[in-house]
Structures are given as C-alpha cells and as structure tokens.
Amino acid sequence: MKQNKQFFISKPLKSQTKYWNSSTGRNHKGRITAWHRGGGHAKLYRRIDLKRKHTQGIVIGLEYDPNRSAFLARVFNPDTKKQNYIIAPNKIKKGDVIRSNSQRSGYQNGHSKKLHYIMTGTLIHNLSISPGENAKILRAPGAYGLILRRTRTLAKIRLKSGQYRWFDIKTIATNGIIGNTNCRFNKLKKAGQSRWIGRRPIVRGVAMNPIDHPHGGGEGKTSGGRPSSTPWGKPTKGLLTKRFRVQPKPNVKI
C-alpha cells in the first residue's frame, strides 16, 4: 500500500522518546557475541502503547520509526490533551478515531478489544500472550492473526506462521493488519545504506588470515582446503548424524 506523504510527521514527540544506546553486538564484557553489528545513525526510541488499554483519540498522522519496520500512528486525546504512539494498522489515515479496550461489536480498524468482544473470522494484530501484558505477537509489517474459535475462557487463533494457539479470552488484541506491507521489497542502493542501519560487512573466511579463520591463508585463491567450519573450527554444514553402536566386550574367562 502506498502511503500518502502528507500524512507523515517528520519530528517525533519529545515526551514519548528517549535515548537509545545500541549494544553493537557486544556483551557486558565487551566481547562480540552477535557479529556484523555496529555503527549506524543515532536514533531515539519511541515509547509505544503496546497494551492498548487507554490510548484513544484522533489520528494526527503517521511517523517513521527507525527501530522497527512498521510505521507508527500518533494519536491525540482531546480529553487529556496528550499524544501517544501506536503501531499503525493498514489503511489508517489522518482524522480516524481510535479507541482502546472497546466493547463494541463489529469490525473497527485499529480499535483494540478483548478477544471476548471480537467476532470469529476477524483479522487481528498486536496480540499479547496473557492478559495485562505488552503485545509481543503479530507486530511485524503485514502480520495478522485469524480468530477461528471461541469458548467461554479461550480463543483459538491461527498465527501468521500457520501455528494454531489458544489464548485467554481476556487478552487484548487490535483489529486489522499491520501497515507498510511492502517493506520487504525495499532494496539498498549502496553499501553505505547498510552502514546507516547498523550492519557491518560480512567477510568470507577464505579472505582472512590463518590466525583469524581456519579457511584463511594460502597462496592465491583457495577453497579453504577443509570442510566448512566456523572461526572456532566447528563444522557448519551439520555434524555426523549416523549413530555408531558400541559393541559390548565379550565375557571371556581365561
């Protein structure tokens, strides 16, 4: 879906942002545990209402979030005069009214409800694992779940992965599909764009020195000279799966 640029807001909310220090793939000892991370443009973290219990009002516009692929929707509450962020569903536009923890039946795009009030066959997103917690499921662009069945206490939902799971019927979910569904078709135009988002180059083992990788070294171009392995010498294409039975020693009395 093409997003209209006039709906987008360029500057984030100061009250809902904080400084975000990325770990650059290192642990508390400073050792690299996740490779090919580091650098990147400075970015602020946006506080998003993932519980969707109280955020309601009028959508002012959409906003880009550098910490996720989905867009954000800025919601203004005329009663409290405050603004909050929610994950923007598909086909949401400026001027739409958003309600949280609603008890209305029917389908309202972007409205959050308990599974008890959502009809079967409805597409949902922003789903929490248990009641009262932040939503941790169905938050990626184009993600949605389908309510298949409801009982008095549970609801059966088919997730985007095809998995079927039962959730508490008091769990809150949001109607609709996450927006920015075409983000997977974005292509990086140059190597610098990869560095902007914090991705460092990936170097082949055969291009390294012998001290850096088991495949390194050698005169000219080589293919490694050994089965593919990690920098620590462990096989990367699977260990042996054949089981060798240990023959018992015969009881021979001399």
Per-residue pLDDT of the chain (254 residues; tens, 9 = 90+): 455 666 788 889 999 999 988 878 999 999 999 999 998 899 999 999 999 988 899 999 999 999 999 999 999 999 999 999 999 999 999 999 999 988 887 788 989 999 999 999 999 999 999 998 999 999 999 999 999 999 999 999 999 999 999 999 999 999 999 999 999 999 999 999 999 999 999 999 999 999 999 999 988 888 888 889 989 988 888 777 667 666 666 666 65
Beta strands in the chain (DSSP E): 17-19, 44-46, 57-63, 72-77, 82-87, 97-98, 112-114, 123-125, 127-128, 135-137, 145-150, 154-158, 164-168, 172-175
- CB-based contact 164:154 (threshold 8 Å): no
119 lies in a domain? yes
Give the residue from 74, 101, 107 showing the smallest Cα distance to 88: 74
120 with 19, same domain?
A: yes
Q: What is the pLDDT of residue 106?
A: 78
236 with 151, same domain?
A: no
Q: What is the pLDDT of residue 107?
A: 84
Q: What is the pLDDT of residue 1?
A: 46
245 lies in a domain? no
How confident is the model over 175-215, as pLDDT tens digits?
A: 999 999 999 999 999 999 999 999 999 999 999 999 999 99
How confident is the model over 58-80, as pLDDT tens digits?
A: 999 999 999 999 999 999 999 99
Q: What is the DSSP string of 100-135?
A: SSB---S--TT-EEEGGGSPTT-EEESEESSTTSPE
> What's the distance, CA 198 to chain centroid?
16
Alpha-carbon distance values, 131 to 103, 177, 233 (Å): 16, 21, 46
Range of the domain at 89: 5-182
Helix (H) or strand (E) holding 194: helix 191-196
188 lies in a domain? no
Residue with tokens 């932040």: 134
Q: Phi and psi at residue 155, in whole multiples of 5°? A: -135, 135
Residue 234, domain CATH: 4.10.950.10
153 with 207, same domain?
A: no
Total domains in the fold of the chain: 2
136 lies in a domain? yes
118 with 223, same domain?
A: no
120 lies in a domain? yes
Token pair listed for 40: 């990147």
Token pair listed for 51: 């519980």
- Contact partners, residue 237, CB within 8 Å, separation at least 6: 227, 228
196 lies in a domain? no
Q: What is the pLDDT of residue 242?
A: 67
55 with 14, same domain?
A: yes
Residue 14, domain CATH: 2.40.50.140
248 lies in a domain? no
- CB-based contact 76:60 (threshold 8 Å): yes
16 with 132, same domain?
A: yes
DSSP 191: H
32 with 149, same domain?
A: yes
165 with 227, same domain?
A: no
63 with 124, same domain?
A: yes
197 lies in a domain? no
96 with 220, same domain?
A: no
Give the residue from 199, 232, 227, 162 showing the smallest Cα distance to 40: 199
Helix (H) or strand (E) holding 192: helix 191-196
3-class DSSP state of 181: helix
- Last residue of a domain, which of 116, 150, 182? 182
177 with 109, same domain?
A: yes
Rounded to 5°, the CA angle 150-154-159 comes to 80
32 with 68, same domain?
A: yes
